[in-house]
Structure 1
Amino acid sequence: MLSDVELVRAARGGDVGALGLVLARHEAGMRAVALSLLGYGPDAEDAVQDASLAALRRIGDLRDPESVGPWLRMIVRNACRQRLRAAQGVVPVAEPATPADLLSPDRVLDSHASRDWIWHSIDELSPTLRQTVLLRYFTDVNSYEQIAEVLEVPVGTVRSRLSQARGKLAEALRATADQAHADAGAVNAASAREAVETLAVAERGEFPALVADRWLPEFEFVAGNGVIRGGRDLALYGMDSDLTAGVRQRLVQAVASRDVTIWTMDLVNPPDDPEHCPPGVVWVMTRRQGRVAKLRLFHPA
């Protein structure tokens, strides 16, 4: 059996499986700390989950691998204290910062193995959880209110889904084996190429053929704060109207996870009508059998 020191060193090198073994080994102690501070209930479990994901982000900060147990318990203790302060109204918590930091691919998952692990784990979430996670942590449409508007659900549902997703990701982290995962960077790069191709096809006047090939006949189109609804014909009309008015779209970011694809676009208005469209739009697409089943266009504030 590998020692804590050996596992921590492997985890620092990007071995997520080694970190999972460390967490499994110290899970009882982490839970005991949470229960002592928060009592039995969902808050204690959430604190352990948040601490598990925080370990993925901060394992490189652990100076003494032999003290990984106390270090993990300290992270749990801090997570519990944040919850207690929030409950007492000392610190307003409208938008918790910790989970966002945990899953940011640029700021957090620097190692290739960790990045691919998190994308693989997101793929294992249900479609509704996966869509919520991608919006929250990988796009600028990340406030609870904006996500609720895009998904057409109450804000409380967004909070519940994110809590469920963090729990499942933490569980997967504790249980994960040392295995290779598909290259998430390649998946997102392919999605970016698809977005650029889609825009180029539209500008050539060939968008109807692309839609017929890649979008389902029962495709659903939603825009305008949910007021505008229709099918493929309405989406084609919207694209044609924008192009005729001289509006062009430019890809900013593409993220994709199995049946959920999100493209963030800049909208470039013509010089003679600079206020024709808002400055940006987000395409939130769900797919079935590889084809687009629904497109939700959202203009961030």
Structure 2
Amino acid sequence: MTRVLEDVERAEDTALTRAAQRGDATALGLLLERHRPGMRAVALSLLGPGPDVDDVMQDAALVALRRIGDVRDPAAVGAWLRMVVRNGSRTALRAARRTEPLAEVPLPPALTTPEHVLDKHALRDWIWEAVEELSPALRLPVVLRYFSTGVTSYQQIAEACGIPVGTVRSRLNQARAGLARALEATAAGAHEDARRRTEEGWLEVHETLAAAERGEYDKVVADRYTPDVTLLSAGRRLGGSGLLVAGMEGDLSAGVRQHPANVIAGRSLVVWEMDLANPPDAPDHCPPGVAWIMTLEGGRIDRVSLYHTPRPASTVQATA
């Protein structure tokens, strides 16, 4: 009898997983409810009772939403969900010990990014529509946390947004609750094509860099940015369009080149993650990378926040 029940459960898991991978939100919700006790048991065994368990469970649900298309054996989806919780719990433990994890969000295998995974299954447009329903203050931390590749830890998000780490945690908690409500409210609606926006985002970043190489970045700013665009770093205003142009031209003159590594493109928020290549004669001119975090108003960029990837510790010590 036990074997028969196990076979039935595996068959149900298979059917629900395949439906979820086709974009059936109800099927995904049923999967999470079926396996919630086992997922919670894993979190409790690693973290003990406390608020971290709820955080990890909420994170796991969002990771499952984005990555259900990664499940290759639908019958084993329960083990996959418990693995997501286990990874999240270990990340929480590392953070509690004040050590910076390599990644606080379970990521796909090497050579892929969350955006690539998002493009793999039919839920992607629904997710983005729900993200757009969040307030700007909640939208930015959640997009960086779950969709960027280099600005995912609480500390990195805090530095990029110019807010305390505690505020990041609070906003992410609010955002997760808001996403749950928005996802439920928008499940039956028509959503824009996230893949199209992403493709347009990649095209725009390459066109922008090419124009800058030609000395025409000022034309890009005039065309695609609002007249009163604001440049920020760590939440502090640095200047406007003039500083944007001067900064880009100064880096190019110094031999620094930017290479796009990841593009996140929503209706109201766009993030370009760049690798920075310094000239051979000035290898420490710029940090190894930068994220351009841009908010849009009426289809034009009105705020640009720059977050620079910290230099490796050995480089900092050598130059100190």
For Structure 1 versus Structure 2, the TM-score category normalised by the shorter chain is 0.7 to 0.9
Query: Equivalent residues in 2 for 1:170-185 (5 A)?
Result: 170-174=180-184, 177-178=187-188, 181-185=191-195
Say whether residues 1:251 and 2:260 are aligned partners. Answer: yes
Say whether residues 1:262 and 2:267 are aligned partners. Answer: no
Match of 1:17 among 15, 25, 32: 25
What displacement does 1:179 show?
5.2
Distance change >3 Å, CA 249–CA 293, structure 1 → 2: same
Query: Equivalent residues in 2 for 1:151-230 (5 A)?
Result: 151-174=161-184, 177-178=187-188, 181-223=191-233, 225=234, 229-230=238-239
Q: Which has the higher contact order (CA 8 A, sep 6+)?
A: 1
Contact 1:53–1:170 (Cα < 8 Å) also in 2:
no
Partner AA of 1:63 in structure 2: A
Contact 2:258–2:276 (Cα < 8 Å) also in 1:
yes
Contact 1:280–1:299 (Cα < 8 Å) also in 2:
yes
Contact 1:259–1:288 (Cα < 8 Å) also in 2:
yes
| Runs (5+) with no aligned partner, structure 2 | 1-11, 45-49, 311-320
| Runs (5+) with no aligned partner, structure 1 | none
Distance change >3 Å, CA 109–CA 261, structure 1 → 2: closer
Q: Deviations over 1:240-275 (max 9, x none)?
A: 211222222221211111111111112222222222
Query: Equivalent residues in 2 for 1:1-301 (5 A)?
Result: 8=16, 11-19=19-27, 22=30, 49-50=58-59, 52-53=61-62, 56=65, 57=67, 60=71, 63=75, 92=97, 100-101=105-106, 105=114, 109=118, 111-137=120-146, 138-174=148-184, 177-178=187-188, 181-223=191-233, 225=234, 229-301=238-310
Partner AA of 2:271 in structure 1: I
SS of alignment partner, residue 284 of structure 2:
coil
Provide the aligned C-alpha RMSD in A.
4.2
What displacement does 1:100 show?
2.4
How many Å separate the matches in 2 of 1:99 and 1:276? Answer: 29
How many Å separate the matches in 1 of 2:186 and 2:58? Answer: 14
**Which is further off, 241-250 or 9-18?**
9-18
Aligned length: 283
Distance change >3 Å, CA 97–CA 128, structure 1 → 2: farther
SS of alignment partner, residue 141 of structure 2:
helix
Identity across matched positions, percent: 46
How many Å separate the matches in 2 of 1:295 and 1:284? Answer: 6
How many Å separate the matches in 2 of 1:266 and 1:48? Answer: 33
Partner AA of 1:101 in structure 2: P
TM-score, normalization by structure 2:
0.69
